């Protein structure tokens, strides 16, 4: 699951000139990896709070703009981490935060796409159960 999210981050960030230009040269891979890590952990935590994978994905489908509880929960930790770990200025972290709703919405659409088997409900549940350990049973609702 992490590899799929990382691929989506690279694609989404790479196709967004405002975000791409905000990341200092040479830090792209590390920043992409950190974004994917924060998104994966954030989604796992939110799935537990949203009634499982289905509830979380349903919330993400409507996350086209900031303000979604799932987006906000992930965004706060992500912005703080990117600023402290990589020294990214507010312009860069703001551009990445602005791209986050679209990235998360794309993730949800892929999970519901019957023609795209790269992200499935079972795959998400399995990946999240590894992250959350004993809370994994919650994601099979």
Q: What is the pLDDT of residue 81?
A: 92
| Domain assignment present for 140 | no
Residue 58, Cβ density class (10 Å: 0-12 exposed, 13-18 middle, ≥19 buried): middle
Domain of 32, in residue numbers: 2-133
| Domain assignment present for 6 | yes
| Domain assignment present for 42 | yes
| Domain assignment present for 122 | yes
Decide if 81 contacts 87 (C-beta within 8 A): no
Q: What is the pLDDT of residue 47?
A: 81
Q: What is the pLDDT of residue 78?
A: 92
**Cα–Cα distance list, 132 to 20, 45, 140 (Å):** 31, 8, 13
Q: How many CB atoms lie within 10 A of CB 85?
A: 11
| Domain assignment present for 138 | no
Q: What is the pLDDT of residue 129?
A: 75
| Domain assignment present for 141 | no
| Domain assignment present for 20 | yes
| Domain assignment present for 139 | no
> Which residues of the chain fall short of a pLDDT of 70?
62-67, 132-141
Q: What is the pLDDT of residue 66?
A: 54
Whether the full predicted model's pTM is greater than 0.95, yes or no, is no
């Amino acid at each position: 699951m992490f590899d799929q999210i990382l691929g989506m981050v690279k694609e989404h960030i790479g196709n967004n000139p405002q975000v791409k230009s905000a990341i200092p040269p040479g830090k792209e891979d590390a920043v992409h990896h950190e974004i994917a890590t924060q998104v994966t952990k954030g989604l796992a935590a939110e799935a537990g709070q949203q009634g499982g994978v289905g509830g979380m994905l349903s919330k993400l489908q409507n996350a086209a703009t900031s303000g979604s509880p799932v987006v906000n929960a992930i965004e706060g930790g992500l912005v703080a981490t990117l600023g402290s770990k990589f020294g990214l200025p507010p312009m860069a972290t703001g551009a990445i935060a602005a791209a986050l709703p679209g990235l998360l919405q794309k993730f949800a659409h892929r999970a519901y796409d019957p023609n795209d088997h790269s992200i499935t409900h079972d795959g998400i549940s399995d990946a999240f159960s590894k992250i959350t350990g004993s809370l994994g049973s919650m994601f099979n609702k």
